[in-house]
A and B are shown apart, each in its own frame.
Chain A
Amino acid sequence: MIKVVKSFFSKRLSSTALLFLVGLFCFSVFIPFISPYSQDIYGSVHFEIAGQPPSFSHWFGTDTAGRDMFTITIRAAFYSLKIAVGVVFFSVLVGVPIGMFSGVSNKRTDEVIMRITDGFLAFPPMILPIAITAILGPSLNNVIIGISVSWFPWYVRIARSQSLVISSLDYVSISKSMGASKYHIIKTHVLPNSLTPIFTQASIDAGYAILTAAGLSFIGLGAQHPEVEWGLLVTQSRAQFLNHWWVVFFPGIFMCLTVVCFNIIGDEFRNNETVEK
């Protein structure tokens, strides 16, 4: 792991992507304390300055309620990143142990687990999150739950395939011959050797989680005020796009950059994996 981190910082592109994400997150945490327009985050309106284009006083302009778009866009990063990390965290937390257990289990247990997983995967990717958020009610946490339930089966599959490959290697055979339990084999051999492909998938998925959450917001099932994420910002302002381009452009561009950064990090993990092999 230390090697992977070192390699991240030795490459300009991946270290820039990582710095961008970390910087953005820190900035979004502190923006309510730094910005002179911090009240805008909580819904205060200033119609006298409504719809202003980008200027020195309002870097990203203002929306139709006179709120500072810079402050809102940066604060929205906090919720978007929360979704990205939350979705990936829960998907990995649930999917990986199930997949690894399935991989080292006997054929019957493996079959049962995989068929249940297939059941989840049979739903089109957006349908399950829509159904879950519709049942639980639209909120940021429910968006995380909805997308995680839809995505964890992918991690079950990755972890299972890794587990199957690693279980057939000689060092696992020797461990088995010494009487090692399934738990010991997963903890000592399978998990450490599966981390790289799982991290690769997780970092790419983090970007897509933001896009999916934005999709849910677009149909009104996503995050709600005051937990505004980028998708919600775009949705709210889409009617004004022709007259006030900046209200859609800046949240959109931040969303785009964040997804690209997650992808770059994912690619770097994958490159490291190839080099290791």
Chain B
Amino acid sequence: MSNLLYEIKNLQIKSTPKSGAIKILNNINFNIKRGEILGLIGESGSGKSMLGCALLEMVPVGCLITKGSIVHHFNSNKIISKIRGVHIAMISQDPMQALNPLQKIKTQFTMILRRRFTSNKKSTKEQLLRWMKKVNLHTIPNILDRYPHQLSGGQMQRVMIAMAMSINPDFIVADEITTGLDAGTKMDILNLLASFQKTEGFSVLLISHDLKCIQKYCHRIAVLQCGEIVRVGSKKSIIQKLKDNYGIAVKKNKAKNTEKERNPVLDVKNLYKSYGSGRNSIPALKNITFTLCKGETLGIIGESGSGKTTLVKTILNILKRDSGDLFFNEYSEDKSIMDPNRNIGAVFQDSQGSLNPKMKIFDILGEPLTLLGYKNGQKKKEKILIQLKRVQLDNNMLELYPNALSGGQRQRVSIARALLTNPSIVVLDEPTSALDVKTQGEILNLLLNIQKQEKLSYIFISHDLEAVSKIADSIAVLYKGEIVESGSANDVLSYPSHNYTKKLIYSNSWISE
């Protein structure tokens, strides 16, 4: 029996002539061995998912394999489409989309088992329960009778893993299976997959844009760039090369403010915010108190659902708070601000969603100036050009729409827009989490440079501890709407006192080991 499971030679995939015959994948050559986890890494849009689909013979409508071959060595002579669900399984990125929302977990799972094994009702139920136990879902009451929307993202992904494993596959395509999950859940899911792989010995194609995930779990790595495999090799050699090319060192000026006096610019005192009213009221923020000093960065960390975004919107005064005070010292030292204030800028996580798709970049950048009373004219254009230069974007981008820009470029436009009103504080709500490693480093460096020049204060909100540690001077940990721990970045990260902080640090550090 050959040691190889897949041999891919000179594979080329193009969009159909009607859609412009654009090369999506070109000259793809690599093998997948039996019993290995092969990591496929690349930036967004590099063709990773398309390659995964091609291995399953599921190339989407509008695309064609125009050249090359995919040869499989499964214990079957049938074509790939006939052995899907028997020898091959797939775990997709968004389990909410992959599970049928109208069917219970039991129904969907039974369907898969029945297709694979011709078993009776009783043994199917036993199998179902066994699998729920294997993926640690057996403790959840009535798990099999639940609908997908009654499960969390992590639980749904566990169900998907159980479904994929249950057919005893030889090969699994895991396409960005941890995207959208927080660090703790991410670790659980990947550990689960890796432990199954170890015991069952199947092959996995682990597709991800997260270098650390790949580094931790894969035996070999393939790097995809602009539709071409640029490198395939052992983990060690590839990671070193990638770090040389991609890893942009974020240089932080640590020496600042140590000698100077710290001037508070924003005082947040006893902030409360809840959603709903009366009995149905759900508290989102409880007793939030912190101080932000001039030229400093306060990192606020917490998992999804801990109230990070509510805090951003309350600080920006887009959401009305229930009680508490916001003192903006340059504006008025003793008057709590209640309305949106132009001295506080904002950059949000979703670079696509934070730019109006119907406006050109010039108009997007012109909006804050229009709100400040600038008429369309030379002065407005000059101001925009200065900011554009500062965020290192070309002038010819002004005439483009946001769709034509990459994620990193869009985030730069967002930063430029936030700076156009000359704010003293910029609230950065996960500005790097949707970007790939290289762009993340670039954006963080840009933010640090601007901070140095302008003496800006940042509130940097993230669930990515690494990014926070690179940029923040002090850190506050948000848990279930409360700040459970705060202090200088070094103290909080090196000597965490609260259990939740310890857990967060542990789940973030497992990948950097």
Contacts and interface: CB of A to CB of B under 8 A. Distances in A.
Interface stretch (B125-133, B178-186, B325-333, B349-357): B349-357
Contacts of A169: 353
Most buried by B among A176, A184, A193: A176
Contacts of A236: none
Contacts, number: 59
B438 interface: no
B348 A178 contact: no
A188 interface: yes
Contacts of B318: 173, 176-177
A170 B318 CA distance: 11
A174 interface: yes
Interface in B342-401: 342, 344-346, 348, 350, 353-359, 364, 367-368, 371
A175 interface: yes
Interface residues of B, number: 28
A189 B356 contact: yes
A188 B357 CA distance: 11
A226 interface: no
Most buried by B among A169, A174, A176, A180: A174
Most buried by A among B339, B354, B418: B354
Contacts of B357: 193, 276
Contacts of B342: 178-179
A189 B359 CA distance: 9
Nearest to A188: B367
A180 B342 CA distance: 10
A179 B371 CA distance: 7
B371 A177 contact: no
A166 to B, nearest CB: 9
Contacts of A175: 367, 371
B421 interface: yes
A188 B367 CA distance: 9
B356 A178 contact: no
B384 to A, nearest CB: 15
A170 to B, nearest CB: 4
Nearest to A170: B354
Nearest to A189: B356
Contacts of A174: 346, 348, 354, 414, 417-418
Interface in A170-206: 170-171, 173-180, 184, 188-189, 192-193
B470 to A, nearest CB: 24
A175 B359 CA distance: 13
A171 B353 contact: yes
Interface string B225-238: 00000000000000
Given A170-B350, A171-B353, A188-B367, A177 B358 contact: no
B313 interface: yes
B356 A192 contact: yes
Contacts of B358: 192-193
A269 to B, nearest CB: 15
Interface in A73-108: none
Most buried by A among B339, B356, B368, B414: B356
A127 B138 CA distance: 59
Nearest to B356: A171
B356 A188 contact: yes
Interface in A130-161: none
A169 B345 CA distance: 17
B425 to A, nearest CB: 11
Contacts of B356: 171, 188-189, 192-193
Given A177-B316, A177-B346, A179-B342, A170 B353 contact: yes
Contacts of B487: none
A219 B317 CA distance: 57
B350 A173 contact: no
Interface in B49-64: none
B317 A178 contact: no
Interface in B103-119: none
A24 B316 CA distance: 55
Nearest to B317: A177
A48 to B, nearest CB: 59
B116 to A, nearest CB: 36
A169 B351 CA distance: 11
Contacts of A179: 339-342, 371
Contacts of B348: 170, 173-174
Interface string A48-70: 00000000000000000000000
A184 B354 CA distance: 17
Contact of A178 (B313, B340, B354): B340
Nearest to A172: B356
A178 B353 contact: no
Contacts of A176: 316, 318, 340
A174 B365 CA distance: 12
27 contacts: A169-B353, A170-B348, A170-B350, A170-B354, A171-B353, A171-B355, A173-B318, A173-B348, A174-B346, A174-B354, A176-B340, A177-B316, A177-B318, A177-B344, A178-B340, A178-B342, A178-B367, A178-B421, A179-B339, A179-B341, A180-B367, A184-B371, A188-B359, A188-B367, A192-B356, A192-B359, A193-B356
Top 7 A-B residue pairs of the complex, sorted by shortest distance between their CB atoms:
A170-B354, A177-B316, A192-B358, A170-B353, A170-B348, A171-B356, A177-B340
